[in-house]
Chains A and B, each alone.
Chain A
Amino acid sequence: MNAIEIHNLSKSYGKVQALKNISFEVQQGELFGLIGPDGAGKSTLFRLLTTLLNPDEGSAKIDGLDMVKDYRLIRSRVGYMPGRFSLYPDLSVEENLQFFAALFGVKIEDSYDLIAPIYSQIEPFRTRKAGKLSGGMKQKLALSCALIHRPSVLFLDEPTTGVDAVSRNEFWDMLATLKTQGITIFVSTPYMDEASRCDRIALCNEGSILSIDTPQGIVQHFDAPIYGIRANNMLALLESARNAQGVIDCYPSGEWHHLVANTNFDVSKFESEFNHMDDFIIKSIEPTIEDVFIKLMKR
């Protein structure tokens, strides 16, 4: 059985169509990433799947249960961490956890083994107010609270937004650990570099799914030659490279500009043309998720 099955789901807010006819499945025990920029419809999809919203069209099943008919049952089986910090800042770490345990009618001790690897890290601060925790610790508490009732599916909406790189990395490590416990994890992020931590990812933009595959599969999808170029004057390089022969697209990408070429592109010719620029380098590179995303968006 699939943990999540989505069939032709659509949702509009007034004139704005937030989700356009989306369909896909998430398997049991999978760590599935929904990756796309703000406004892609990620949060809407989360609210639909956690039964906070009803769809305009289409349907979805969570854990085999219908999102509209069985929404009460679904609510007792899913864990949800919304995009914003969703705990009570004026309650202590312990009080928050106790409250969420009571909310789901469970005892902390019964789920302690599940949350222990995460909660034990913040337990020394259990009397501290949740609002006074650092970003990383808040996240650990929020995750502990979302797990307190041993959900079979965990929904995490942009858990790593606004969190520093070290904490983000720790967070993904925690998710990997949870995955080994058999929990299905559905997570969204606007940061493409986090894609590689997922089993499978769906790239989404403006309410549509652009592509679904493993991170490797998505990258292999990129069928054009791609190069990294750099020089002392990055801006001048960018502008002239765009006009060079055989160049489909050229855009900044961190330290390098990425250059997407077609079959007419001649590397050595390009190199000789640009060699007069200070510190000019061109090298063949592996495409990244972002490169794929850009290509799909421009299609």
Chain B
Amino acid sequence: MKGNFGSFVKKESLHILRDKRTMLVVMLIPVVLMLLFGFAISTEVNNINVAVVASNRTDGVKDAVEQISQNEYFTFCGYISPDQIDSKLRSSEVGAVVVFAADYDRRVEQASKGIPSKPLIQLIVDASNVNTAGSATAYLQNILLKSDAQQAMFETRMLFNPQLKSAYNFVPGIMGLIFILVCAMMTSVSIVREKEVGTMEVLLVSPVRPVKIIFAKMIPYFTISCIVLVMILLLARYLLGVPMSGGIWGIFSLSLLYLVLSLSLGLLISTIAQTQIAALLMSAMVLMMPILMLSGLLFPIENLPSFFQVLSNIIPARWYIDAMRKMMIQGDAITAVWHNCAILLGMTIALLGISLKKFNDKLE
């Protein structure tokens, strides 16, 4: 039975390509969601008032202030004293305050020699407007930091919304949702459709192993999901300016793992559901609802009742979204989220194992 795997994949791809409407929806939903959030952000990035606290207005400080005021996004509105910081931010007179260390120049010099030292710049941002705060931080960092070494000497404090629940945070959330939608829902429906139409009987009566049939079904959906993944990442990076400082390969490989996990979930559903409607309902109720409610997508997990906090541990999306937030927004490397990765890997192996075992080559 060699050589027929390719034709299985071809057949599945034809099914998908012929169903243009579904395909369009799958491709469009992520783009639409990303654009929606993208516009919500980009309209608010302009004209952030910035105040500066500097006990010694050295040349280095003046240089930096000059750069801030020249930037199109920021308006420099003067030097203030440290005890004014809170009231200025609270009254929304300014959106961010840059605090230069008293010995700023000396520390910059030390940093350029590679000598570790205390923070040289502190950034205090009004994070009540999550969109502004996120972008302001990113832009100011770009402006003020002259070398990587200085990175360590930069301290950011988010006032009023320390978790920075920002629109960025929706990007991993959307990813967690979309891949379940594309992979789990679409694979389960496509397998169950064959049961419903009766073609599954013919496939089973053929000498081909069910594993082959299953993997052939997964490949096209995996491919589509990869395309969607690349689209989301591109949009996130270049339209929304999500930093992704944790490293693109880490983000990509963890997402691939999550795709496989979603496919296994779809497979599991297809072994239980007998009709397409049932498969759809199961995907929606068993997969989507918990993701929306329990993964931290809508509500922070720590705000959930403790029962649901415990329950959220079995939701794969929770671990994925959490890891992606760390990597895409907070700049952690994949090594920093290894235990999320391990949990997801474990879940994938378990799900794949169970569903392959359940998918037998008889009708009962």
Chain A complexes with chain B: yes
In the assembled complex, B7 has its CB within 8 A of some CB on chain A:
yes
Are A102 and B8 in contact, CB atoms less than 8 angstroms apart? Answer: yes
Q: Considering the chains assembled together, what is the distance between the CA atoms of A21 and B300 in angstroms?
A: 62
Q: Assess whether A125 is interfacial by the CB under 8 Å rule.
A: no
CB of A95 within 8 Å of the partner chain: yes
CB distance from B14 to the nearest CB of A (A): 6
Query: Which of chain A's residues has its CB closest to B363's CB?
Result: A52
Sort A-B residue pairs by CB-CB distance and give the 10 closest, nearest first.
A102-B7, A84-B198, A76-B207, A102-B4, A86-B198, A90-B18, A80-B205, A52-B363, A103-B206, A82-B201
Residues on A lying within 8 angstroms of B by beta carbon are 47, 50-54, 72, 75-76, 78, 80-91, 95, 98-100, 102-105, 145-146
15 A-B contact pairs sorted by A residue (CB < 8 Å):
A47-B201, A47-B363, A51-B362, A84-B197, A86-B198, A86-B201, A89-B197, A91-B18, A95-B14, A99-B11, A102-B8, A103-B7, A104-B208, A105-B1, A105-B207
What chain B residues lie within 8 Å of A95 (beta carbons)? 11, 14
Which B residues touch A91, using CB under 8 A? 11, 14-15, 18
> B207 touches which one: A50, A84, A85, A104 (CB < 8 A)?
A104
| A75-B206 CB under 8 A given contacts A53-B363, A88-B199, A102-B4 | yes
B204 adjacent to chain A (CB < 8 Å): yes
B364 interface hit (Cβ, 8 Å): yes
A54 CA to B360 CA in the complex, in Å?
12
- Contact yes or no, B198 A82, CB < 8 A: yes
A104 to B203, CA, bound (A): 10
How distant is the Cα of A47 from the Cα of B362 in the complex, in angstroms? 9
**A110 CA to B8 CA, complexed, in Å:** 20
Per the bound structure, the CA–CA distance linking A88 and B204 in Å amounts to: 15
Q: Are A104 and B7 in contact (CB under 8 A)?
A: no
CB of B305 closer than 8 Å to a CB of A: no
- On chain B, the residues within 8 Å of A53 by CB distance are 362-364
**Given A88-B11, A91-B14; A80-B362 close (CB under 8 Å):** no
Q: Which of B198, B208, B362 contacts A103 (CB 8 A)?
A: B208
Residue of A whose beta carbon sits closest to that of B201: A82
Residues of B within 8 A of A75 (CB): 205-207
Main secondary structure of the interface of B (DSSP, over half): helix
C-alpha gap A102/B3 in the complex (Å): 8
Q: Could you tell me how many residues of chain B have their Cβ less than 8 Å away from some Cβ of chain A?
A: 26
Is the CB of B59 closer than 8 A to any CB of chain A? Answer: no
Cβ B199 vs Cβ A72 within 8 A: no
Q: Which of B7, B8, B205 contacts A51 (CB 8 A)?
A: B205
Q: In the complex, which residues of chain A have a beta carbon less than 8 angstroms from the beta carbon of B207? A: 72, 75-76, 104-105
Q: What residues on A are CB-neighbors of B208 within 8 Å?
A: 103-104
- Which residues of chain B (310-364) have a CB below 8 Å from chain A? 362-364
Instruction: Evaluate whether A78 and B11 lie within 8 angstroms (CB atoms) in the complex, with A52-B363, A53-B364, A105-B4 already known.
Output: no
CB closest residue in chain A, given B200: A86
Query: Does residue B2 face the partner (Cβ distance < 8 Å to A)?
Result: yes
Shortest B207–chain A CB gap in Å is: 4
Considering residues B14, B202, B205, B208, which has the most beta carbons from chain A within 10 angstroms of its beta carbon? B205
Residue ID in chain B nearest A87 by CB atoms: B199
Chain A min CB distance to B308 (Å): 38
Is B202 a contact partner of A86 (Cβ separation < 8 A)?
Answer: yes
A233 to B304, CA, bound (A): 78
Q: Is B109 an interface residue (CB 8 A)?
A: no
- Do B7 and A82 have beta carbons less than 8 Å apart? no
Question: Quick check: B18 and A103 within 8 Å, CB to CB?
Answer: no
- The distance in angstroms between the C-alpha atoms of A134 and B125, with both chains bound, is 70
Q: Is B148 an interface residue (CB 8 A)?
A: no
Q: How far is the CA of A146 from the CA of B205 in the complex (A)?
A: 11
* Inter-chain contact B14/A104, CB cutoff 8 Å: no
Within 8 A of A (CB), among B1-40: 1-4, 6-8, 11, 14-15, 18-19
Chain A neighbourhood of B203, CB < 8 A:
103
* CB within 8 Å for A52 and B362 given contacts A91-B15, A99-B11: yes
> In the complex, given contacts A88-B11, A88-B15, what are 16 additional A-B residue pairs having Cβ atoms less than 8 angstroms apart?
A52-B204, A52-B205, A52-B362, A53-B362, A53-B363, A53-B364, A72-B207, A76-B206, A80-B202, A82-B201, A85-B197, A91-B15, A100-B206, A103-B206, A105-B2, A145-B202
Q: For the complex formed, measure the closest distance between the CB of B164 and the CB atoms of chain A, giving whole angstroms.
A: 47
Chain B residues with CB under 8 A of A146: 202
Nearest CB in chain B: distance from A160 CB, A: 16
Q: Chain A: which residue is nearest B194 at the CB level?
A: A88
Contact partners of B205 in chain A: CB under 8 A: 50-52, 75, 78, 80
> CA–CA, A145 to B205, complex, Å?
13
Residue of B nearest to A77 (CB): B207
B3 → chain A, closest Cβ, in Å?
7
A54 to B204, CA, bound (A): 14
- Measured CB to CB, the nearest residue on chain A to B202 is A86
The residues of B that contact A76 with a CB separation of less than 8 Å are 206-207
